[in-house]
Structures are given as structure tokens and as C-alpha cells.
Amino acid sequence: MSQSQSDPVRPTAFPGAPDPDTVDVTRDAQGQALFEDARAERIKDSFYRLVCVMERLRSGCPWDRKQTPASLKKYVLEEAYEVLEAIETEDWDLLREELGDFSLQAVFQAKIQEEADRFTIEDVMEGIVDKMIRRHPHVFGDLDLTQAEDVEANWDQWKRAEKGHTTADHSALDGLTKGLPALLEAYKIAKKAAKVGFDWDRPRQVIDKIHEELNEVEEALASGDGAALQEELGDVLFAAANLVRKAGFEPEETLRLANAKFSRRFRRMERLADERGQVFAELPLEEQETLWQAAKQWDHDKT
């Protein structure tokens, strides 16, 4: 067994951070057990059985045995989006199933790393528990924070201190996850910049910026410069993501809602055409537009 398995290195605790070794997470602030013994045993047993299932899969299934961290990336992403879909549709039975599938992917990745003597599933679980204790001094320590905004304001500071970043090597944009969907990345970049004061004061200013960028798109279109056009379109998208942020929403979620609305109305159009004995794809654009307006009215009436 490697040292990383037997003695994982802990991040440096920032001043005032609770010591995970002295915190009993199984009890509340008044010292009462969070769960009855029977429930606690069931929780432990169910997770242990999942780990055992993965142990059997890696030793007994040819497909599971040949998987690598890289080959499983697409499944991690798919399962994450299926969790989101279940939440958005409020299908709670489906959510229960999808959370199980997503949990399996975490255990799968940890099992592969254990086989390579890098770390174990115990290291993973202990690591996230320790991190949550350290970064919640208002829950597990003596810090008095009562508002969610106060917690958010301190979170990045705690992370930087824990990771040992100094002012000299620190950027406000540190900590961005690589590989995020571009729209979500734009939102997070702008949000981090806004925390240090680099932001518009009002949404109206962002709208003006979008108009400015659209004018530059028109100029790029007229010039026939494809590279310039792509750059300016990117600026429009970035500015639009900022407008959504300034309005108090998340652009990824906002676009998903728009996608769902368009899909719902488009399917309604196709159904209307079929009910009339028509093939939607063969209709002229004017008739398709008429069906679109009918689908929009149906959607408005339904909501």
C-alpha cells in the first residue's frame, strides 16, 4: 500500500478552521445523535454494499475490468446531466435512480485509483468530510455567520488560505474548473471578476454593451472576415451571459429553460401538422410559422 493510501496529506488549515480530528460529525451542536442507531447502521451498510458491488464488478465483469478513468469520463458527464434532468422535471423517483448511477461513477473512479495504489474510497470520503468541517467554521467551530451571503463572501478566502496562496501568486480568477461548459465558465469568470469590483453597475449597461457587440458583429459580417466574426459572436455570448447574471439568474439554467420551451413548442407544431394530415417538413415556411404561433398560444394557455 502506498503512502497516499495509508497517510493522505491534508491541506494546511487556515487560521480559525476547526480541527476535523476533534469534531464529532455524528452529533448536532447540542450533542444529540443525528440519526438513530438503526438508521446509522443502514447508511453504513448500504454504502459498504455499493463498494462491495464495485469490487465484484472489477474482478468479474470483462467490461468493467477494462475501464479506465479516461474511458469513464463520458459516463460521469452523462450521469450528471441525467441528475439535472430529473431535478428539472421534478421526477423524484427518477432522481433517486440517477443519484445512484452518479454515486456508482464516483466509487468506480475511486476503485481504479485504489488498484493503482494512489488512494482509496476511504481517503475520498474522509477528505470531503474534513474539507467540509474546515470550511464551515460557523457550523463546526466558533465563527458567527448567520447569512448565506456572509458564508459566500468568506468561502474564497478560506479556500485560498487553505491552499497556501499568497497575494503575489493569487488571481481573482483562480479556482475555475477546467472543462466547464462555456456558458457556465463565462458566468463563473464574470462572477469572480465582480467580487473584486470589476463589473457593471446596472443591467442596462450590459444591454448597451450587447448592442455595441452586435454592431461589431455586423461589421465583421460585412467584411467577410470569419475569424473576426467568430470573435465578435463570442463577445456577444459573453455579454449575454453577464446580462443574465446581473438579472439574478444563472445563464446555463436560463438557456436550458429556453431549450425546453422551444422543444415543447416544436413538438406541438409537429403534432398539429400530423393531426391535419400534413407532413411538417414538407410545409412552406409560412404555414410552419402559422403552426408555430398556434403552438406558442397553446403553450401560453397551458402555463
At 172-201, the pLDDT tens digits run 888 788 888 899 999 999 999 998 899 999
Give 17's pLDDT tier (boundaries 50, 70, 90): confident
Pair (116, 229) in one structural domain? no
Element holding 247 (H helix, E strand): none
What whole-number distance in Å separates Cα of residue 98 and Cα of residue 85? 9
175 domain-assigned: no
pLDDT over threshold 80, residue 9? no
Residue that is last in its domain, among 231, 249, 267: 249
Sign of CA dihedral 81, 83, 86, 89: negative
Give 156's pLDDT tier (boundaries 50, 70, 90): low
For position 231, which CATH number holds?
1.10.287.1080
Give 18's pLDDT tier (boundaries 50, 70, 90): confident
Pair (155, 281) in one structural domain? no
Pair (287, 266) in one structural domain? yes
What is residue 33's three-state secondary structure?
strand
Mean pLDDT score across all residues of the chain: 90
What whole-number distance in Å separates Cα of residue 207 and Cα of residue 200? 10
83 domain-assigned: yes
The range of the structural domain enclosing residue 202 comes to 182-249
pLDDT over threshold 70, residue 38? yes
Pair (157, 267) in one structural domain? no
pLDDT over threshold 50, residue 3? no
Pair (88, 191) in one structural domain? no
187 domain-assigned: yes
pLDDT over threshold 70, residue 14? no
Give 170's pLDDT tier (boundaries 50, 70, 90): confident
The b-or-e profile of 282-300 (16+ CB within 10 A means b, else e) is ebeeeeeeebbeebeebee
Pair (234, 276) in one structural domain? no
Pair (62, 208) in one structural domain? no
172 domain-assigned: no
0.85 cut: is pTM over it?
Answer: no
CB 250 within 8 A of CB 187: yes
Pair (279, 294) in one structural domain? yes
pLDDT higher at 68 or 3: 68
Over the stretch 205-246, which tens digit does the pLDDT of each residue have?
Answer: 999 999 999 999 999 999 999 999 999 999 999 999 999 999
- Kindly give the residue spans of alpha helices, DSSP state H, lying in 61-202: 62-66, 73-88, 92-115, 121-134, 137-140, 148-163, 182-195
CB 205 within 8 A of CB 185: no
Over the stretch 89-127, which tens digit does the pLDDT of each residue have?
Answer: 899 999 999 999 999 999 999 999 999 999 999 999 999
288 domain-assigned: yes
Long-range contacts formed by 85-89: CB under 8 A, 24+ apart: 88/256, 88/260
pLDDT of residue 175: 78
Of 108-122, 134-148, 155-169, 200-214, give the lowest mean pLDDT range.
155-169
Pair (29, 136) in one structural domain? yes
16 domain-assigned: yes
Instruction: Name, in order, each residue with C-beta under 8 angstroms of 229's C-beta and a sequence gap of 6 or more.
Output: 217, 220, 221
CB 143 within 8 A of CB 137: yes
For residue 208, CA distances in Å to 4, 194, 223 come to 53, 18, 23
Q: What percentage of residues in the chain have a pLDDT greater than 70?
A: 90
173 domain-assigned: no
What whole-number distance in Å separates Cα of residue 59 and Cα of residue 69? 17
CB 18 within 8 A of CB 163: no
What is residue 174's three-state secondary structure?
coil
196 domain-assigned: yes
Residue that is last in its domain, among 204, 219, 249: 249
| Domains contained in the chain, number | 3
- Interval 53-65 mean pLDDT: 97
pLDDT over threshold 90, residue 129? yes
Give 11's pLDDT tier (boundaries 50, 70, 90): low
Q: What percentage of residues in the chain have a pLDDT greater than 90?
A: 74
Single-letter amino acid, residue 210: I
